[in-house]
C-alpha cells in the first residue's frame, strides 16, 4: 500500500467525516458512489465512532500491519504454502507467530492434527488480552454474540490502542471504535499478505524476516511509551534483564518464562515496598 496509498485512504476517510458526507454516505463531491471503507462500517450502531477508529488506524498502525504481513506473504510463498491458504490464515488466525508456525510446519510435512494445537499454543497470549479487553468494550445492551465476533479481531496493536483510547470514549462508542480500528488493520494485513506472496521474489531473505518482526517491535514501542506506573516499568525492565538467562536454559520457553518471572518479581518488589498503588 505504501505511504501514498495510506494518504489516499486517509483523505477518503476525512472526506466522509464532513457534515455533508453523512446522509447517504456521500463524498465531498456530492456524488452517491460513497466511500467503500465507510460502507463496510455503516452497519455498526456507532458509525461515527467506527469511522474514528478506522481513521486512527489508517497511518502508522495500518502501515506496520501491512509491512509485517507483506513479509509473511513472502515467507509463505517460499515455504510452498498456497496463496489461498496464506490469505485464509490471515482471515482466520491474524497473528504472525501462529501463521509462521502454520507455514513452517506445513513445509515440514506436519499433519493438521499437529499444526492446530501448535498454533493454538502460540496464540494463547491472546487469552489474557481478550479477558482484559472485553469488559472494557461491553456496554449496557451489548449482545454477547457481538463480543464473541470481536474476540476474533483481537490483536496486539488493537489491544494496546483500545486499552489506552477506549476509557476516554463513551461506553456505547467503545465497541464500534475498536471494530473500526481492527477492521482497517485487518484489511491492511490481508492486502499485505497477498502482495507479499506475489512479490516474494523481489525481497531478500533478511528483509522478509525483518518485516515480520516489525509488528511486535511496534507493539513494544507502544507499550513503552504508555508506561505510566512504576510497577509496569519495573516489570518490563525485569523481564528484559531475565530474558537472556532464560534463553540459555530453554530457548523455546524463554519469552514466556521471562515475562512471567519479570512480572512476578515486579509485583513482589512493589508489594514489599508498600507502594501497591504506584
- Torsion angle, alpha carbons of 208, 211, 217, 222, to 10: -170
Query: If pLDDT is split at 50, 70 and 90, which confidence band does 174 have?
Result: very high
pLDDT band at 222 (very low <50, low <70, confident <90, very high): low
Q: Taking 50 as the threshold, does the pLDDT of residue 50 lie above it?
A: yes
Q: Which of 23-27, 92-96, 116-120, 233-237 has the lowest mean pLDDT?
A: 23-27
**Rounded distance, CA 124 to CA 104, Å?**
19
Question: Model's pTM, two decimal places?
Answer: 0.68
Q: What is the mean pLDDT of residues 113-120?
A: 90
| CB contact at 8 A, 141 and 115 | no
pLDDT at 38: 47
| DSSP 3-state of 80 | coil
Looking at every residue in the chain, the average pLDDT score rounds to 78
- pLDDT of 148 higher than 70: yes
Q: Provide the pLDDT for residue 228.
A: 60
Look up residue 272 and give its three cell numbers: 514489599
Amino acid at each position: 500500500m505504501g505511504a501514498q496509498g495510506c494518504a489516499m485512504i486517509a483523505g477518503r476517510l476525512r472526506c466522509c467525516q464532513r457534515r455533508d458526507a453523512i446522509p447517504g454516505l456521500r463524498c465531498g463531491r456530492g456524488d452517491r458512489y460513497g466511500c467503500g471503507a465507510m460502507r463496510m462500517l455503516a452497519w455498526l450502531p456507532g458509525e461515527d465512532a467506527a469511522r474514528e477508529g478506522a481513521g486512527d488506524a489508517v497511518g502508522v498502525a495500518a502501515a506496520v500491519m501491512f509491512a509485517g504481513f507483506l513479509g509473511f506473504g513472502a515467507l509463505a510463498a517460499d515455504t510452498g504454502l498456497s496463496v489461498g491458504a496464506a490469505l485464509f490464515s490471515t482471515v482466520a488466525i491474524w497473528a504472525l507467530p501462529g501463521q509462521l508456525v502454520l507455514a513452517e510446519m506445513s513445509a515440514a510435512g506436519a499433519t493438521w492434527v499437529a499444526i492446530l494445537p501448535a498454533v493454538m499454543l502460540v496464540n494463547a497470549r491472546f487469552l489474557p488480552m481478550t479477558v482484559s479487553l472485553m469488559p472494557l468494550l461491553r456496554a449496557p445492551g451489548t449482545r454477547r454474540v457481538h463480543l464473541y465476533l470481536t474476540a476474533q479481531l483481537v490483536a496486539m496493536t488493537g489491544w494496546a490502542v483500545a486499552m489506552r483510547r477506549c476509557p476516554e470514549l463513551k461506553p456505547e462508542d467503545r465497541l464500534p471504535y475498536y471494530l473500526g480500528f481492527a477492521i482497517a488493520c485487518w484489511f491492511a494485513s490481508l492486502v499485505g499478505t497477498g502482495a507479499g506472496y506475489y512479490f516474494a521474489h523481489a525481497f531478500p531473505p533478511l528483509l522478509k524476516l525483518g518485516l515480520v518482526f516489525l509488528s511486535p517491535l511496534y507493539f513494544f514501542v507502544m507499550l513503552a511509551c504508555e508506561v505510566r506506573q512504576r510497577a509496569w516499568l519495573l516489570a518490563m525492565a525485569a523481564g528484559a534483564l531475565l530474558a537472556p538467562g532464560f534463553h540459555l536454559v530453554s530457548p523455546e520457553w524463554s519469552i514466556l518464562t521471562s515475562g512471567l518471572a519479570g512480572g512476578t518479581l515486579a509485583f513482589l518488589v512493589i508489594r514489599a515496598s508498600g507502594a501497591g498503588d504506584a
